[in-house]
């Protein structure tokens, strides 16, 4: 009996164990699928240590690899591919490496455009796991090297660029005053210096028969008649003024009065026009008399601020000399001292030039950059407008004084700027022997004076084109490139737009008087020397420059 009873107990125990085991099999513990990770990225077969690819073709093949096979149904909702402005890009998707690599092929992209591609954590594996962290990629497409316009002769191209750019000053000139607006969005604000450049452009346009002499004279009469009634300060004009009223518009809080450098640019233009409109008839004689009235009214010597041996840039009726900015050292303002020394009513002496502008020789440089010795100015030359603004009228060829030979200075400056861009130490996309030129211009969300020591990857067409007299081969190559290769991006109603960055796929839609003017004027000086010849023919300028110690066959 005991044995039967023991057997029964054993049977019951076995049934219980079997029952529990089966219960466990019927109710398993849930298992969470493993997450997976990004493993690698290639664009057109190339992998780089960055998520930003430059100079990409317009139909790239993008391969994004992961540590697990991908669930095809999750890709559409997890991939975002669009432009910088948010426009979605259509693309095809394929898979490779046992579905662990997504192959993305967009439809044709646009040239020099920035795109972003993001794979979010919504992407899942074939086993149901989630991507651990998102993957982002930035693509910037390359330049389309096809010609955007029919090829014409270089001479015809120079004609075209001058004529188109001239429209900024002619068609867009302020209707009341005839003066140049600061930029294409400035409304009634006109610029004194830019108007001086524009006046020289009018002279060039008449001489090239873009407009008639009668029309050019009429515009000059409007401009000069307006300037005679505009607000001045000891004969000097403000940087900006209202083109309808002639009242000063503050350039900054304390800069609401005289700007002597801008006034010098204006006088450079007016004297050039005075020499050009030399007919003995009453209209042109009256224009010359009116220009002389404006010219003689500027109290250049008063801007020595109580007789100091230097000139001061600003004076305000509210803040007096509070800006306290001397015009000295090597920059764009040589013309200010030339104008001041040339005045027949309020001249300065050579001592003011030597001590103020030249700082008794401290403006010298004499170091070599990229194998080129630079006589004057900051390291690597500074922005190229230093070689342009004063030399729209001053002919640097054969010009020298105690401090430099000025054709050597300007050629060295332009050559250094060119060689810097070709060497491209910052690795900016787009810089080349055909695409160069750093100067003051608009940049993304602002404005800066670009130079080799302040290089943000922004090229300004005015820099290379206005250097034609100094670097004719390099400048002409740049002009051709800007027009033929980038013309669909940077050529507009008033010639070339102000600036661009191939590196950042950014293109300005602005045009500025102080950048457009030198393009016309320096092309003209390169082609004919017209503006140089006219300005240097002024008897006052000859006397003034000689008094400062300048020597030149043109004096």
Helices 192-207 and 260-276, packing angle to 10 deg: 20
Place 334 in a pLDDT band, splitting at 50, 70 and 90.
very high
Same domain, 236 and 110: no
Same domain, 95 and 215: no
Same domain, 262 and 336: yes
Distance CA 72, CA 125 (A): 8
CB-CB contact of 97 with 63 (8 Å): no
Same domain, 77 and 171: no
Is 11 a domain residue? no
- Rg of the chain on CA atoms, in Å: 34
Residue 16 has pLDDT above 50, yes or no: no
* Average model confidence (pLDDT) across the chain: 94
Q: Which pLDDT score is estimated for 29?
A: 58
CB-CB contact of 401 with 375 (8 Å): no
- The arithmetic mean of pLDDT across residues 391-414, rounded, is 98
Same domain, 342 and 430: yes
CATH number, domain with residue 80: 2.60.40.1220
Same domain, 208 and 124: no
Write out the two tokens for 430: 């787009």
Place 12 in a pLDDT band, splitting at 50, 70 and 90.
very low
Q: What is the pLDDT of residues 345-373, one digit of tens each?
A: 999 999 999 999 999 999 999 999 999 99
Same domain, 229 and 188: yes
Exposed / middle / buried, residue 99 (Cβ in 10 Å: 0-12, 13-18, 19+)? middle
Q: What is the pLDDT of residues 292-321, one digit of tens each?
A: 999 999 999 999 999 999 999 999 999 999
Choose the final residue of a domain: 141, 168, 186.
141
Is 21 a domain residue? no
What's the domain range around 79?
38-141
Residue 46 has pLDDT above 80, yes or no: yes
Q: Which pLDDT score is estimated for 31?
A: 62
Place 28 in a pLDDT band, splitting at 50, 70 and 90.
low
Same domain, 126 and 172: no
Choose the final residue of a domain: 141, 165, 188.
141
CATH number, domain with residue 401: 1.50.10.140
Q: Which pLDDT score is estimated for 343?
A: 98
Q: What is the pLDDT of residues 450-466, one digit of tens each?
A: 999 999 999 999 999 99
Choose the final residue of a domain: 73, 108, 141.
141
* Number of domains composing the chain: 2
Same domain, 126 and 160: no
Query: Of 369, 349, 378, 366, which is closest to residue 403 (Cα–Cα)?
Result: 366
CB-CB contact of 400 with 551 (8 Å): yes
Q: Which pLDDT score is estimated for 19?
A: 46
Same domain, 349 and 237: yes
Q: Which pLDDT score is estimated for 1?
A: 38
Is 383 a domain residue? yes
Is 311 a domain residue? yes
Is 310 a domain residue? yes
Same domain, 301 and 279: yes
Query: Of 446, 511, 473, which is closest to residue 197 (Cα–Cα)?
Result: 511
């Amino acid at each position: 009996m005991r044995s039967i009873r023991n057997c029964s107990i054993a049977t019951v125990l076995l049934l219980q164990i079997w029952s529990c085991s089966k219960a466990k099999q019927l109710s398993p513990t849930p298992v969470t699928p493993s997450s997976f990770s990004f493993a690698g990225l290639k664009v057109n077969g190339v992998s780089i240590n960055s998520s930003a690819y430059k100079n990409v073709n317009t139909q790239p093949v993008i391969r994004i690899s992961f540590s697990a096979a991908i669930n095809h149904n999750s890709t559409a909702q997890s991939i975002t591919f669009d432009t910088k402005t948010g426009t979605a890009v259509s693309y095809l998707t394929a898979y490779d490496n046992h579905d662990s690599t997504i192959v993305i092929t967009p439809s044709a992209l646009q040239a020099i455009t920035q795109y972003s591609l993001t794979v979010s954590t919504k992407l899942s594996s074939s086993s149901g796991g989630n991507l651990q962290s998102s993957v982002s990629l930035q693509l910037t497409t390359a330049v389309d090297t096809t010609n955007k316009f029919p090829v014409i002769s270089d001479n015809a191209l120079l004609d075209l660029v001058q004529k188109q750019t001239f429209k900024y000053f002619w068609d867009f000139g302020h209707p009341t005053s005839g003066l140049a607006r600061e930029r294409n969005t400035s409304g009634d604000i006109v610029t004194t210096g830019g108007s001086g450049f524009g006046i020289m452009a009018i002279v060039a346009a008449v001489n090239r028969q873009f407009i008639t002499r009668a029309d050019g004279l009429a515009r000059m009469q409007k401009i000069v008649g307006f300037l005679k009634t505009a607000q001045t300060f000891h004969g000097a004009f403000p940087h900006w003024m209202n083109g309808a009223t002639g009242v000063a518009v503050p350039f900054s809080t304390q800069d609401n009065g005289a700007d002597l450098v801008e006034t010098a640019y204006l006088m450079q233009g007016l004297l050039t026009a005075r020499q050009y409109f030399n007919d003995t008839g009453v209209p042109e004689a009256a224009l010359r008399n009116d220009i002389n009235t404006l010219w003689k009214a500027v109290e250049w010597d008063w801007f020595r601020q109580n007789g100091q041996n230097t000139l001061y840039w600003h004076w305000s009726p509210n803040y007096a000399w509070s800006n306290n900015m001397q015009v000295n050292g090597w920059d764009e303002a040589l013309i200010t001292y030339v104008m001041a020394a040339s005045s027949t009513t309020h001249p300065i002496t050579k001592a003011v030039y030597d001590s103020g502008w030249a700082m008794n020789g401290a403006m010298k440089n004499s170091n070599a950059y990229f194998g080129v010795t630079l006589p004057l100015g900051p390291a690597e030359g500074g922005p190229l407008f230093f070689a342009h603004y004063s030399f729209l009228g001053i002919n640097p060829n054969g010009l020298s004084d105690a401090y430099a030979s000025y054709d050597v200075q300007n050629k060295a400056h332009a050559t250094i700027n060119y060689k810097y861009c070709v060497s491209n130490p910052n690795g900016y996309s787009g810089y080349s022997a055909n695409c160069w030129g750093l100067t003051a211009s608009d940049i993304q969300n602002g404005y800066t004076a670009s130079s080799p020591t302040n290089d943000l990857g922004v090229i300004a067409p005015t820099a290379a084109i206005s250097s034609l007299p100094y670097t004719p081969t390099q400048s002409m190559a740049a002009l051709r490139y800007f027009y033929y290769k980038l013309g669909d991006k940077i050529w507009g109603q008033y010639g070339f737009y102000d600036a661009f960055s191939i590196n950042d796929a950014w293109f300005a839609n602005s045009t500025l008087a102080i950048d457009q003017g030198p393009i016309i004027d320096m092309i003209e000086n390169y082609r004919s020397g017209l503006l140089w010849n006219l300005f240097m023919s002024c008897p006052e300028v000859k006397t003034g420059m000689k008094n400062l110690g300048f020597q030149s066959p043109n004096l």
